[in-house]
Amino acid sequence: MASLKGKTFVITGATGRQGSAVVRHLLKEGACVKALTRDPNSKRAQQLTALAAKLVTGDMCNPVALTTLFQGAAGIYSVQISRGAWKEGCPFSNACIYVPHVHWR
């Protein structure tokens, strides 16, 4: 597996079960992680901060903010299982067009 050290990854749903597991794995491998969250003051978000993840408050429906967030990222991991997933999907997919690796479920 290629080294992840120093590469930046954006994780949406970072405080959830799958997202937080991805954050922990990437940090363990030496990657830089931008953890997208709706509530940076939540207990789960603060746990990610303690692990050295950079918390980013964001809106999945704001393509300009997403494009800025995704700039320079080596990859994105996103699980969108909410009722608004379809509504959120289009701005998300448009914003990550130049990111080399995207995992989206």
58 vs 67, more confident: 67
Whether 34 is covered by a domain: the verdict is yes
Q: Which two tokens stand for residue 88?
A: 């959120």
**Residues contacting 87, CB < 8 A, separation 6+:** 61
Domain range for 73 is 8-82+94-104
Return the pLDDT at 1. 57
Q: How far is CA 88 from the centre of its chain?
A: 14
Return the pLDDT at 64. 84
Whether 36 is covered by a domain: the verdict is yes
Predicted TM-score (pTM) of the model is 0.83
Using CA atoms, how far apart are residues 97 and 49, in angstroms rounded to an integer? 28
Residues 12-28: tens digit of each pLDDT: 889 999 999 999 999 99
Whether 88 is covered by a domain: the verdict is no
Return the pLDDT at 100. 76
Whether 89 is covered by a domain: the verdict is no
Q: Does residue 79 have a pLDDT over 80?
A: no
Domains of the chain: total:
1
Using CA atoms, how far apart are residues 45 and 55, in angstroms rounded to an integer? 7
Return the pLDDT at 98. 67
CATH of the domain at 50: 3.40.50.720
Q: Give 26's Cβ-side CA count (13 Å radius).
A: 26
